[in-house]
Structure 1
Amino acid sequence: MSTSTLTMRDVVARQSLFSGASPQTLDYLAEHVVEVRYAPGSCLWLPNSPALLFVVVLDGELEVIRTGQDFSVDLYVAGPGQAAGFDALQAGARNGCTVIARRETFVLATKAEVIRHAVASDVWLRERVAEVSRRHHNRLHQAAQASAERVRSR
């Protein structure tokens, strides 16, 4: 997927996560995001690695996997318009999951400090990210509970 016919600001503004952000925030994000291509099977990050990256899927799919001593469970798949890397919203955080490209995947990627700055300086974005993050964490919690049930029933 090439965004060459659009400006990076246009690409950022078209993402539902950022669509209502202020013009200044959109400009800031456009200056600090890059489009990255991941080949199928590429690992973006592993559990307990520093949470340094926040991504929004442009095209493709990212599989989010939680692993433990005796289990591995697919928590969810992030598709176009969805984000991964919510751990990066907290300074010094570590990643809680493995994230792998299921197929060729293009993302908008930015450093943790960039997304934290954007969220801190834009009320609309702060509220939007909080809402999406809550849904993300609820989904993780439900998947973890279901996984624990499966492990207990063995």
Structure 2
Amino acid sequence: MTGYILVLNGPNLNMLGTRQPEVYGHETLADVVALCEKTAAAHGRTVRAEQSNHEGQIIDWIHEARGQASGIVINPGGLTHTSVALRDALVIPEVPVIEVHISNVHAREEFRHHSFVSPIASGVIAGLGIAGYGYAVERLIALS
């Protein structure tokens, strides 16, 4: 399938570059989107990038991706550790999913060590800064 790659960012990721730069770095969400677009374009592919602080909106975008997207890159933010609804939605498009985290969630607070998304993801990238998004896009292109 050669549909767009859906890049989703969850709660608080709109604050990249200003929120805890010692944890998340100084790059912004615009930098993340630019990296994903550049990576996809190098392979003749496109990206649809979305961010929301609202779980239902993210789930709606996932539903819309069915039959349209070839894969999903998602940084669910705090929803990673709390949302069964998000996990359930991610299987609906029936495409590969790559879970991305800018920080190494396994080196942080205990509650961040569990992910509802990881068991249904084709891959998980954590702790590589925003570069992880580029790697995720590359992997999805390889899978499709």
TM-score normalised by length of structure 2: 0.28
Mark the structure with the bigger radius of gyration: 1
Task: Choose between structure 1 and 2: higher helix proportion.
Answer: 2
